Amino acid sequence: MKNFIVPIDFSVESLNGLKLAILFSKQAQVNIHMVYVLQKSSDADKQSQDEEQRIAQGRFEKIIGDFQPQLGNDSTIQFQINKGRVYQEVVNLADQLSDSVITASTHGASGFQELFIGSNAFRIISATEKPVITLRKNYCPEGISKIVLPIDLSAGSRQKVPFTTDLAKLFGAEIHVVGVHTSRGKQDVKKIRSYTSQVAGYIEGKVHCESNEVFGDSIPDMLNNYSNAIKADLISITTEQSSGISLIMGNTAHQILNKAEIPVLCLTPKHMTKSGSFASMGG
């Protein structure tokens, strides 16, 4: 978590990604890289694109002037203006930088283009192995003190545990390990309770850990209700299906990102396997 990539479209909503990155700078030295992607245009439109770039540069300079004093731990903030597809440029920049995290709003619009209304935020998540933290609408937490970590039947849902634990240690946050039950079948309930116990055993001694379980038909609603009840600041999910009932970057994860009122940390099993994971806990 050294380099934070923040897609910016100059909307209030997109600046929440920057505010979240600054929140991390209060805990450790980080480098914040804001990126704006110019609209595609033909050579005949070069003049309008040059004007767009000039305006974007001026806006970035103002943002840096406003936000740089808020940085902590000798952290840095910079910007770049690229051409291409929004999600590809964001992902490419994240791939170029080691230990990178993407913080992005799922909503936002500028005078130039609509960046995140639609599928761009979800395309970013689907196209990268890097951690992505999404924020909805005009909200950024003032701190991270409680993290909800849902556990289901998939091995992938447990592979997010090491990264989430490191993030909790950074903020001194507590983790709520929540067994998510969409079935009351004895075998399924027993498995999820076993997985939840294993995860809690890994976390305990590193950060404060609470264990709980929820039952219902809608995973997004269950997570949202639980998060609201404990006043959580972040939900950690996986976004690729491994096996079983997984919190995937499909309909379920899409709904979680749309319904969650707090930031959502999205991790892929492939990313986490590289950094050390619960791969051996498959079941």
- Both tokens of 166, joined, read 């490191």
Q: Looking at residue 111, what is its pLDDT?
A: 44
26 in Cβ contact with 72 (< 8 Å): yes
The answer to the question of residue 29 being in a domain is: yes
Given 77, 98, 133, the domain boundary residue is 133
The answer to the question of residue 140 being in a domain is: no
Per-residue pLDDT at 179 exceeds 50: yes
The answer to the question of residue 164 being in a domain is: yes
Q: Looking at residue 177, what is its pLDDT?
A: 98
Residue span of the structural domain in which 155 resides: 146-281
Q: What percent of the chain has pLDDT over 90?
A: 63
SS3 of residue 33 by DSSP: strand
CA distances from 53 to 18, 57, 60, 86, 141 (A): 20, 6, 10, 15, 31
Q: Looking at residue 13, what is its pLDDT?
A: 84
**Alpha carbon 215 to its chain's center:** 25
Given 133, 167, 186, the domain boundary residue is 133
257 and 213 fall within a common domain: yes
The answer to the question of residue 15 being in a domain is: yes
Task: Give the pTM.
Answer: 0.89
Tally of domains in the chain = 2
60 and 177 fall within a common domain: no
72 and 156 fall within a common domain: no
267 and 177 fall within a common domain: yes
248 and 152 fall within a common domain: yes
Instruction: Please list, in sequence order, all residues whose beta carbon lies within 8 angstroms of the beta carbon of residue 271, skipping any fewer than 6 positions away.
Output: 129, 130, 131
97-125 confidence digits (pLDDT tens): 999 999 998 875 544 444 444 457 888 88
Q: Looking at residue 159, what is its pLDDT?
A: 84
